[in-house]
C-alpha cells in the first residue's frame, strides 16, 4: 500500500508540474508547442519537487534548501535556496538601495528585515543601479543605454515588477528607456530577462554567454495562488555548477511559478535570513572564489522581507 501511495503521489506531482504548456514571446501571438519537451522533462521535475529539501518554517515564511548531487538536477550538481511566502502571510516585500555598495546582509539589517536576496543589476565601479529603480516614489536608478544607443534597452532591462501592498506584480515594460517614469507606482524594480509570464515560458536568446553559460542565479516569482518565491542558485563550484537562464527558467517552472523575473546573479547572488548561522547567509556567495558562506559581494540594491 505504501508503494502504491508513493507512485500515486509522484503521478500527481508529474501532472501538476509537468502538464503540457506552451511558450510564447510576450509581444507575439504565435505559440510554440512544447508538449514533447514537457513530457521529456518529467524526470527532472519529479527530482526537483521530490528532492530532499531541508525545510524551516519561520515567522510568516518558509526557507527551503536542497543539495542535488550526482548531476541529477538538469544534468548538474546544484544548491538551491527558496524563501516562500504564502498568500495569507502578513509578510511583505520592499526594495532597498545604498548609494555605496553594501552586502545584502547589511541591507537587511539596516532596514530591519527578516530576510533578503540581492536585487537588480548595478555598476561595480560607480555603485549606481543600471536598471530602473524607484523606492517609495523616489527614483534611485535608470536604465543605462547601449554603447551606441540611448533609446532602447539592454537585454537585462526587459522585465519589471512593481509592489502592490508588498506583493510583486510583473509586467513587460515598453522599449523606451524611460518608460517606467510614466508609471504612478511607488515601488518599481526593472531587471531581466523575464523568464515566465502568465504561465508561459519566454524564449531566451542563445547568442549571449550571460544566458547560455552556467552562473549563480537569483530570481523572484509567484505561483498562481499568490505564493511568492525568492530563489537563489549557487554556481561556479563543483558542488553547485550554476545554471543557464534556460535551465533556471525550467527550475522555476517546475516549482510552480506563473511569473518569474531574473535578477542580478554571479557573485552577487546572496540569500540572508535573520538569526541563522554564518551571520544569516544561507547560500554560498562566491565573490571570494570559495564555496563557503563568506563570499558576499557588496551590492547596490536588494529585495527584503519585512
pLDDT per position as a tens digit, 53-85: 999 999 999 999 999 999 999 999 999 999 999
The mean pLDDT of the chain is 89
How many CB atoms neighbour CB 137 within 10 A? 10
- Residue 145 pLDDT: 86
Cα angle 261, 263, 268 (rounded to 5 degrees) comes to 160
Res. 43 pLDDT band, cuts 50 70 90: confident
How many CB atoms neighbour CB 161 within 10 A? 27
- Residue 119 pLDDT: 98
Q: Say if residue 193 is preceded by a cis peptide, omega within 30 of 0.
A: yes
pLDDT per position as a tens digit, 1-24: 333 333 333 433 333 333 334 333
What is the number of alpha carbons within 13 Å of residue 274 lying toward its C-beta?
Answer: 17
State the residue range of the domain holding 94.
2-305
pLDDT over 80 (residue 110): yes
- Residue 204 pLDDT: 96
Percent of the chain with pLDDT over 70: 86
- Residue 38 pLDDT: 57
Cell of 1: 500500500
Cα angle 209, 262, 180 (rounded to 5 degrees) comes to 110
The span from the CA of 138 to the CA of 187, in Å, is: 8
Q: What integer is the mean pLDDT of 39-58?
A: 88
Cell of 50: 521530490
Structural domains in the chain (count): 1
- Give 51: exposed, middle or buried? Use CB within 10 Å, 0-12, 13-18, 19+: middle
- Residue 147 pLDDT: 74
210: helix, coil or strand?
Answer: helix
- Residue 276 pLDDT: 98
pLDDT per position as a tens digit, 147-193: 777 778 999 999 999 999 999 999 999 989 999 999 999 999 999 99
Q: Which residue has the higher pLDDT, 253 or 13?
A: 253
pLDDT per position as a tens digit, 229-250: 999 999 999 999 999 999 999 9
The least confident of 43-57, 96-110, 252-266, 275-289 is 43-57
Backbone angles phi, psi at 240, to 5 degrees: -150, 105
- Residue 222 pLDDT: 98
pLDDT per position as a tens digit, 192-234: 999 999 999 999 999 999 999 999 999 999 999 999 999 999 9
Res. 37 pLDDT band, cuts 50 70 90: low
Q: Is 0.85 surpassed by the pTM of this model?
A: yes
114: helix, coil or strand?
Answer: coil
- Residue 152 pLDDT: 85
Write out the H or E segment, with its range, that includes residue 5.
helix 2-18
Amino acid at each position: 500500500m505504501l508503494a502504491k501511495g508513493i507512485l500515486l503521489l509522484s503521478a500527481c506531482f508529474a501532472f501538476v508540474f509537468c502538464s503540457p504548456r506552451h511558450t510564447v514571446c510576450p509581444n507575439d501571438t504565435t505559440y510554440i508547442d512544447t508538449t514533447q519537451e514537457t513530457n521529456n522533462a518529467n524526470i527532472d521535475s519529479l527530482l526537483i519537487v521530490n528532492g530532499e529539501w531541508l525545510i524551516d518554517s519561520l515567522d510568516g515564511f518558509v526557507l527551503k534548501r536542497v543539495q542535488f548531487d550526482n548531476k541529477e538536477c538538469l544534468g548538474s550538481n546544484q544548491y538551491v535556496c527558496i524563501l516562500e511566502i504564502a498568500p495569507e502571510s502578513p509578510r511583505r516585500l520592499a526594495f532597498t538601495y545604498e548609494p555605496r555598495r553594501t552586502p545584502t546582509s547589511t541591507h537587511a539589517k539596516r532596514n530591519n528585515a527578516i530576510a533578503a536576496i540581492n536585487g537588480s543589476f548595478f555598476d561595480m565601479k560607480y555603485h549606481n543601479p543600471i536598471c530602473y529603480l524607484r523606492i517609495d516614489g523616489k527614483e534611485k536608478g535608470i536604465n543605462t543605454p547601449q554603447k551606441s544607443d540611448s533609446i532602447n534597452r539592454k537585454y537585462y532591462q526587459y522585465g519589471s515588477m512593481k509592489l502592490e501592498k508588498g506583493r510583486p506584480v510583473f509586467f513587460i515594460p515598453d522599449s523606451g528607456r524611460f518608460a517606467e517614469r510614466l508609471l504612478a507606482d511607488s515601488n518599481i524594480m526593472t531587471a531581466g530577462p523575464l523568464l515566465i509570464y502568465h504561465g508561459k515560458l519566454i524564449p531566451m536568446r542563445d547568442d549571449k554567454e550571460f544566458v547560455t553559460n552556467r552562473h549563480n542565479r537569483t530570481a523572484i516569482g509567484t505561483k498562481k495562488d499568490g505564493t511568492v518565491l525568492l530563489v537563489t542558485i549557487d554556481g561556479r563550484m563543483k558542488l553547485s555548477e550554476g545554471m543557464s537562464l534556460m535551465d533556471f527558467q525550467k527550475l522555476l517552472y517546475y516549482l510552480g511559478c506563473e511569473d518569474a523575473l531574473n535578477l542580478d546573479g554571479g557573485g552577487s547572488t546572496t540569500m540572508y535570513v535573520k538569526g541563522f548561522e554564518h551571520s544569516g547567509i544561507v547560500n554560498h556567495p562566491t565573490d571570494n572564489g570559495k564555496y563557503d558562506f563568506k563570499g558576499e559581494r557588496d551590492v547596490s540594491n536588494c529585495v527584503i522581507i519585512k
